């Protein structure tokens, strides 16, 4: 399968990790919940974890790759105060100011 589209996701937060099984058909996410999140990878998309905090989604079909990347991001969207969560690699996150004393 020749990959034409790459979509990189970055996990930000202490203890947040991602991994795949050896076949690359299941993506495991540890995002601070009491359980591990398992996502079944579709056949049109391939997923790689270069580091525990960087996920790469590749494929030919633009619609399916971006839809799967959005489903990964929806598991833990970035928090507006600290910025913890899953975001796209080139995404600019605007943080809110905290409480004033």
The mean predicted confidence, pLDDT, of the chain is 91
Whose tokens are 């990189």? That residue is 8
Count CA within 13 A, CB hemisphere, residue 11.
24
Q: What is the pLDDT of residues 72-82, one digit of tens each?
A: 999 999 999 99
Domain containing 38 equals 5-88
Say how far apart CA 64 and CA 22 lie, in whole Å.
Answer: 22
Residue 100 included in any domain: no
Share of the chain above pLDDT 70, in %: 98
Which CATH number do you get for residue 42? 3.90.930.12
Total domains in the fold of the chain = 1
Residue 10 within any structural domain of the chain:
yes
- pLDDT > 90 in the chain, percent: 71
* Mean pLDDT along residues 20-40: 91
Does residue 96 belong to any structural domain of this protein? no
pLDDT of 4 reads 82
């Amino acid at each position: 399968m020749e990959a034409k589209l790459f979509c990189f996701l970055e996990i930000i937060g202490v203890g947040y990790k991602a991994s795949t099984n050896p076949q690359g058909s299941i993506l495991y996410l540890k995002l601070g919940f009491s359980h591990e999140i398992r996502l079944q990878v579709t056949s049109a998309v391939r997923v790689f974890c270069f580091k525990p905090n960087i996920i790469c989604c590749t494929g030919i079909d633009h619609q399916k790759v971006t839809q799967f990347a959005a489903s990964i991001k929806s598991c833990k969207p970035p928090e507006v105060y600290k910025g913890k969560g899953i975001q796209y690699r080139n995404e600019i996150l605007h943080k809110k100011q905290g409480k004033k004393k």
